[in-house]
């Protein structure tokens, strides 16, 4: 059943999502069609072998009548990146759009949106191809955050068809990446500046209690009062009283039902000075594009209207509001249509009750009150301009600090290495000449450039001999190894299957068998058995958890070679004593 606006979602509801049945009931409440729920098998969706055996249960929970958008639930034995990627790969091949819900023990729920984008292929073949881009939101079932609840309520089916709902879900997952606890900052300000530096601004100490009490009382039972009502009702009962309480003199600039794209209100100060303009819409109306549930302006795209108003110079800052969500757009933004600052006023009011008590509310009140838009003679712009400039200056200072750290801290160490090499390896004990110093400077710059840009190993080059040693954190390394192992196995198995599928293939297979065996031996992890675990006082070889007999035998041979070549002692001799001393001093129990 399609809803007119997004439904509220509570922590209790999320806490009850401990089974596929509960998730299905939750989707049904949000408006998804669940009558055709059906059990699937891993093989039916395209999984095979180890990928199929990793899935305990898979179901089709929801499908629209036109069969465009599906919600699929999968319960893997363990919720891993490989499981997710395998499912994304096979589901992405189909002609359906998918929202994937993953849960292993139901402590964590993972929602994966399979976004399909057209990409232009280069090369002689050319043409377009569809690229599947998974976008993921993880929710702790027992303790969902406000961000989780805000995101999940926007899953509500408010669209007229599945294609429109798919576009809505895409916007929801995109927005989740920019959402903070009390606000959504879509590339307009600096998140750090808003979270930490803003609290040091003198305006933060202003008292919003009177406006807070008015807004709290006015918005009590807001969803029940205004959901499904027209814009004119919201104007008279909420927006105009709220503008007045904030201190604006509001002038209606266009009627509620119109095809004009001018702002609904021109907002002025108490003495009549122009401050800003506002586009307003029916309660909880979709703000990222047209909304056919909007009886007044269904075809209107708020972002496009804002860009036009900013280009025409109607105001430097524009407000967009649907009663619940309040947005700010700036003429100075890099992307005027998509860079914005947003606060959910209902959430800000409810959250303020358990914070300072008005911390969350300040993120709405400070940014939407008249003082935020008022220009003063002693300042080049308004308060919002100062916040925007402060954000940009912070980003610039961060870049400068990074540059200083590289060139003032790292650069001298690299240059010192060349000087030490000059002395010990080349035997030059005298002070370097100006010409030699210039050569060392150039060599250090070259080395620094290669460290910064060239020594980052692209994943596509790992098997091409781009590096003898790849350094990364353990999580990334494990993903890379598992991905390579799985890819190699899949490719070799697929090649064998193709060769054996026809008589001609079998004949060709006999001809390439020696080369194929050499290739398999080179790429097969069992050939190597394992790898040394460095940093220990003794020799250790780490083997794979599902190693074969051949792999274990080769791991033992690798350990024997390590002992034979005295790997541990020779490595210790190469590591400077000061590094070893530092490691010993930081060891547990020391």
529: left (phi over 0), alpha (psi -120 to 50) or beta: left
Q: Are 391 and 189 in contact (CB under 8 A)?
A: yes
Helices 359-368 & 209-218, crossing angle to 10 degrees? 100
Taking every pair of Cα atoms in the chain, the longest distance, rounded to a whole number of angstroms, is: 92
Exposed/middle/buried for residue 545 (C-beta within 10 Å: 0-12, 13-18, 19+):
exposed
- The mean per-residue pLDDT over the stretch 509-533 comes to 79
- The rounded radius of gyration (Å) of the Cα atoms in the chain is 31
CB-side exposure of 350: number of CA atoms within 13 Å? Answer: 16
pLDDT-above-90 percentage for the chain: 41
Q: Are 367 and 341 in contact (CB under 8 A)?
A: yes
Res. 542: pLDDT tops 60 = yes
Q: Are 325 and 346 in contact (CB under 8 A)?
A: no
Q: DSSP H helical segments within 177-261, as ranges?
A: 191-192, 209-218, 222-226, 231-234, 240-246
**Cα–Cα dist 199/244, whole Å:** 26
**Cα–Cα dist 356/353, whole Å:** 8
Looking at the chain, the number of H-run helices and the number of E-run strands are 22, 15
pLDDT confidence tier of residue 307, bands split at 50, 70 and 90: very high
Which distant-in-sequence residues (6+ apart) come within 8 Å of 524 by Cβ? 488
**pLDDT for position 590:** 45
Going by their DSSP bridges, the two strands 274-280 and 317-321 should be labelled as parallel
Res. 540: pLDDT tops 50 = yes
DSSP 244: H
pLDDT digits (tens, 9 = 90+) for 52-62: 999 999 999 99
pLDDT digits (tens, 9 = 90+) for 171-224: 888 888 776 778 989 889 988 888 888 888 999 999 998 999 999 999 988 888
**pLDDT for position 466:** 58
- The mean per-residue pLDDT over the stretch 414-441 comes to 83
Q: Are 59 and 72 in contact (CB under 8 A)?
A: yes
Choose among 392, 394, 397, 384: nearest CA to 203. 384
- List the beta bridge partners of residue 75: 57
Tokens of 491: 């490719």
- List the beta bridge partners of residue 208: none
Q: How is the chain split into domains, by residue range?
A: 11-176, 184-374, 392-456, 529-590
Res. 467: pLDDT tops 70 = no
Going by their DSSP bridges, the two strands 69-76 and 97-102 should be labelled as parallel
pLDDT confidence tier of residue 305, bands split at 50, 70 and 90: very high
Res. 356: pLDDT tops 60 = no
Choose among 328, 364, 329: nearest CA to 346. 364
pLDDT-above-70 percentage for the chain: 90
Res. 127: pLDDT tops 80 = no
- What beta strand segments (E) does 510-587 contain? 530-532, 541-543
pLDDT digits (tens, 9 = 90+) for 428-439: 778 888 888 888
**pLDDT for position 575:** 65
**pLDDT for position 191:** 84
What does the DSSP assignment read for 132-191?
EEEEEEEEESSS--HHHHHHHHTTS--SSSHHHHHHHHHHHHHHHTTB-SS-EEESSS-H
**Cα–Cα dist 190/324, whole Å:** 23
The average confidence (pLDDT) of the chain is: 85
**Cα–Cα dist 492/263, whole Å:** 62
**pLDDT for position 481:** 78
DSSP 328: E
Tokens of 338: 């998509």
- The mean per-residue pLDDT over the stretch 102-120 comes to 87
**pLDDT for position 304:** 93
> If you average pLDDT over each of 277-281, 351-355, 429-433, which comes out highest?
277-281
Helices 411-424 & 434-449, crossing angle to 10 degrees? 120
**Cα–Cα dist 266/274, whole Å:** 8
**pLDDT for position 262:** 93
């Amino acid at each position: 059943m399609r809803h007119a606006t997004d439904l509220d979602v509570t922590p209790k509801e999320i806490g009850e999502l401990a089974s596929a049945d509960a998730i299905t009931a939750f989707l049904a409440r949000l408006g998804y069609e669940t009558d055709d729920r059906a059990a699937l098998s891993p093989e039916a969706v395209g999984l095979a072998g180890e990928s199929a055996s990793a899935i305990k249960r898979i179901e089709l929970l929801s499908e629209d009548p036109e069969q465009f958008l599906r919600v699929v639930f999968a319960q893997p034995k363990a919720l891993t990146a490989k499981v997710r990627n395998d499912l994304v790969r096979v589901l992405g091949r189909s002609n359906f759009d998918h929202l994937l819900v993953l849960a292993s023990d139901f402590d964590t729920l993972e929602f994966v949106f399979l976004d399909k984008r057209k990409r232009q292929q280069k090369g002689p073949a050319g043409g377009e191809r569809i690229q599947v881009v998974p976008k993921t939101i993880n929710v702790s079932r027992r303790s969902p955050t406000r961000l989780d609840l805000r995101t999940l309520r926007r899953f509500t089916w408010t669209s007229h068809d599945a294609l429109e709902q798919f576009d809505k879900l895409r916007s929801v997952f995109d927005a989740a990446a920019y959402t903070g606890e009390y606000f959504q900052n879509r590339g307009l300000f600096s998140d750090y500046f808003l979270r930490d530096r803003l609290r040091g601004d003198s305006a933060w100490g202003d008292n919003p209690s009177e406006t807070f009490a008015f807004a709290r009382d006015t918005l009590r039972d807001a969803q029940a009062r205004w959901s499904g009502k027209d814009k004119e009702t919201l104007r008279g009962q909420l927006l105009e009283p709220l503008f007045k309480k904030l201190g604006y003199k509001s002038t209606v600039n266009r009627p509620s039902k119109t095809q004009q794209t001018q702002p609904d209100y021109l907002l002025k100060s108490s003495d009549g000075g122009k401050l800003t303009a506002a586009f307003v819409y029916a309660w909880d109306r979709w703000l990222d594009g047209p909304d056919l549930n909007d009886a007044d302006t269904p075809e209107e795209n708020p972002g496009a209207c804002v860009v036009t108003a900013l280009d025409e110079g109607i105001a430097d800052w524009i407000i967009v509001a649907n009663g619940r969500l309040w947005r700010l757009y700036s003429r100075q933004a890099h992307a005027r249509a998509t860079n914005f600052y947003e606060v959910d006023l209902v959430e800000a009011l409810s959250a303020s009750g358990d914070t300072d008590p008005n911390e969350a509310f300040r993120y709405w009140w400070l940014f939407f009150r008249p003082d935020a838009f008022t220009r003063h003679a002693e300042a080049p712009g308004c308060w919002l301009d100062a916040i925007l400039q402060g954000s940009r200056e912070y980003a610039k200072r961060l870049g400068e600090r990074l540059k200083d750290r590289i060139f003032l801290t790292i650069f001298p160490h690299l240059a010192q290495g060349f000087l030490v090499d000059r002395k010990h390896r080349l035997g030059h004990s005298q002070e370097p000449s100006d010409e030699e110093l210039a050569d060392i400077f150039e060599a250090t710059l070259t080395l620094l450039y290669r460290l910064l840009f060239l020594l980052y190993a692209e994943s596509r080059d790992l098997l091409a001999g781009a590096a003898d040693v790849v350094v990364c954190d353990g999580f990334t390394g494990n993903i890379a190894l598992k991905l390579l192992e799985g890819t190699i196995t899949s490719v070799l198995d697929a090649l064998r299957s193709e060769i054996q599928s026809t008589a001609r293939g079998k004949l060709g297979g006999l001809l390439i068998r020696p080369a194929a065996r050499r290739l398999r031996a080179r790429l097969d992890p069992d050939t190597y058995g394992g790898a040394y675990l460095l940093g220990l006082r003794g020799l250790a070889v780490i083997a794979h958890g599902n190693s074969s007999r051949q792999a274990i035998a080769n791991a033992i041979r690798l350990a024997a070679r390590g002992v034979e070549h005295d790997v541990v002692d020779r490595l210790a001799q190469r590591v400077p004593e000061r590094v070893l001393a530092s490691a010993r001093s930081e060891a547990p129990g020391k």
